[in-house]
Amino acid sequence: MTQRKVAVFGLDGITFDLLQPWLDEGRLPNLARLLAEGASGRLRSTIPPVSASAWPSFATGTNPGQHSLIDFTYPAQDSYEIRVSNGLTVAVPAVWQIAGAAGKQVGVISLPMTYPPRPMNGFMLCSFLTPSAESEYTWPPELKQELIDACGAFPLRMSEKGRGVDPAIFVRACKQLEIDRARSVLHLLREKPWDLFIYVLETTDNLQHEIWHLVDPTHPMHDPDTAARVLPDILDYYETVDRLLGEMLALVPDEAMTIVLSDHGFGPFHKFFHINNWLAANGWLAFKRTPVSLIKRAAFKLGVTPINALKWLTMLGLSDMRKNVKRGRGGKTLRRFFLSFNDVDWARTKAFSVGNFGQVYLNVKGQRPHGAVEPEEYEAVRDAIIARAKELRDPEDGSQVVPIVYRREEVFHGISAARLPDLVLHTDRAKYVSFGHADFGSSRIIEPSTGQTGHHHMEGVVGLRGPGVRPGAKLEGASLLDPAPTILHYLGLPVPEYMDGRVLTDAFTDEFNAANPITYNQAGPGEGVGSDSIYSDAEEELVMQKLRDLGYVA
């Protein structure tokens, strides 16, 4: 029997809401052909729909309560320090580790949350959250120099940042990065043996964060003149991505199944919801009464905040100083001058937020060093926060900001669930994004967004094509947890029973399903203990700076 293979191409954050007109017009022929010839549909992301959590869910077939990753940053269990997530934080095996252990040869390129690379039966090339080009970001280690010699350096980040530059320049930088990376991807597809191949194009996400107001005429920041000027570059970017995808698909053998997917969707957002400010206003987060903290809080109330400082420096034309403030010279300098978590009185704080998507952690006695919530009042505090959150209205138009609040146990379960937030405030995704920045970037609770104009929505894209796939099948109810068990099943391997996802049997023909019954094994997910940190202080600052550039942390 022919050995089956699987090739996965991730397009971070792509959505039918943006691409469908261009698919219909024939501007993206390679993606359109794959979707038409195979099975396709919308793909529901994780809660919250953030890449740091979503891609590990794709890789492991489990919810964040199993694999432990909820965002790019999270509070340490033994302190209130903010830690940076990484590949070792993932607490359960990834699909390529399972396949590799079964003798399959695997290759993984640019999949977020994989750094640092680890020994595997194949090759890995990390990019996202790799500290620098000097880091060891390949497996085997010698692959790094091989690619430099054969293809030139694999760019780890773009030459331009989204904010503060002409959007056309940023769009072109996104395009150039994908062109430069494609040389290495094509080389590895051609030259290395593989049974499972995974590559993620990251800049689709980066781009959509910055240009959504240009492709959405209803966005309050839409500028028709700028949109008309930049739209040709935006279309050229997507057409280039489609062309590169076509070149890669041409190297996938006939016996392979190809999967194209995104980890979440995308759409507009208009305003920030600063959760820690809201928690403080409602008495759940308290500040120290030391002279320094009192002065910083008084200045904060007067509008002396990092966001306003950036605005003032820009207005004065002090761009170099603006860059220094944005970088914070380690982020720690900012905390000396502006209100931050360093000024929080933890013994009087019952709840706080860390992350980009409404995560709220309760400061429970016995669980955190200076817990202020008695175990017996835990549910009462949660109930109070939920009730008050649902009452919150935008003072501008009366809109409900937080229509849904999830308790931890409603969306997370498994060996790592205790590390995850106690509540998730799920905002109206069409309008608000909740930011729980440790740096208290703004003194307001709700304010117009600065910089980014698009953000993550729940529904991404999935398409499968290959032997046994049912042409034209429309997938209903597919989840980002489903590709991992589907990949293992297609490779002829048993599916671990702990996986939360299901095999997408509706993507396959009746003949394929009859000839290939699903098998399971009882292997456990492990102990649920991921590494808290693998970065040095200098490396962590480089990683945090990239997250700041992307708008994921303050």
Q: Which CATH number fits domain 5-67+83-265+456-516: 3.40.50.261, 2.30.42.10, 3.40.720.10, 3.50.50.60?
A: 3.40.720.10
Bin 358: left if φ > 0, else alpha if -120 < ψ < 50, else beta.
Answer: left
The pLDDT value given to residue 128: 83
Which residues fall within 8 angstroms of residue 162, CB to CB, at 6 or more apart? 170, 206, 209, 210, 451, 452, 549, 550, 551
The pLDDT value given to residue 553: 61
Q: How far apart (Å, rounded) are the C-alpha atoms in residues 411 and 148?
A: 43
Average pLDDT over residues 429-445: 76
Share of the chain above pLDDT 90, in %: 75
Cβ pair 13, 452 in contact under 8 A: no
> Smallest Cα–Cα separation from 199: which of 150, 247, 248, 136?
248
Least confident of 25-39, 226-240, 286-300, 472-486: 286-300
The pLDDT value given to residue 241: 99
The pLDDT value given to residue 329: 40
> How confident is the model over 121-142, as pLDDT tens digits?
999 999 888 888 888 999 999 9
> How confident is the model over 144-175, as pLDDT tens digits?
999 999 999 899 887 666 566 899 999 999 99
pLDDT above 90 (res 239) = yes
The pLDDT value given to residue 328: 38
The pLDDT value given to residue 533: 61
> How confident is the model over 335-352, as pLDDT tens digits?
778 899 999 999 999 999
pLDDT above 90 (res 468) = yes
Average pLDDT over residues 449-453: 83
Share of the chain above pLDDT 70, in %: 87
pLDDT above 50 (res 190) = yes
Q: How far apart (Å, rounded) are the C-alpha atoms in residues 426 and 433?
A: 9
The pLDDT value given to residue 316: 62
Token match 């305003």: residue? Answer: 271
Q: How far apart (Å, rounded) are the C-alpha atoms in residues 199 and 141?
A: 19
Which residues fall within 8 angstroms of residue 507, CB to CB, at 6 or more apart? 38, 39, 464, 469, 470, 473, 475, 486
Average pLDDT over residues 471-487: 98
Between 319-327 and 306-315, two packed helices, what is the crossing angle to 10 degrees? 160
pLDDT above 70 (res 312) = no
Least confident of 60-69, 183-192, 319-328: 319-328
pLDDT above 50 (res 14) = yes
The pLDDT value given to residue 320: 47
**Mean pLDDT comparison of 192-201, 424-433, 435-444, 447-456, highest-scoring range:** 192-201
Least confident of 300-314, 376-390, 508-522: 300-314
Where is pLDDT greater, at 429 or 338? 338
Which residues fall within 8 angstroms of residue 88, CB to CB, at 6 or more apart? 116, 530, 531, 534
Where is pLDDT greater, at 546 or 273? 273
Cβ pair 473, 509 in contact under 8 A: no
The pLDDT value given to residue 230: 98
Q: Which two tokens stand for residue 424?
A: 């998730």
> How confident is the model over 500-545, as pLDDT tens digits?
999 999 999 999 999 999 999 988 886 655 556 666 667 666 766 6
Torsion of CA 36, 454, 551, 341, to 10 degrees: -120
The pLDDT value given to residue 512: 98
Average pLDDT over residues 109-117: 95
The pLDDT value given to residue 437: 55
Q: How far apart (Å, rounded) are the C-alpha atoms in residues 328 and 376?
A: 41
Residue 141's identity, in one-letter code, is: P
Provide the pLDDT confidence category of residue 221 given band limits of 50, 70 and 90.
very high
Q: Domain spans of the chain?
A: 5-67+83-265+456-516, 271-454+544-549
Provide the pLDDT confidence category of residue 324 given band limits of 50, 70 and 90.
very low
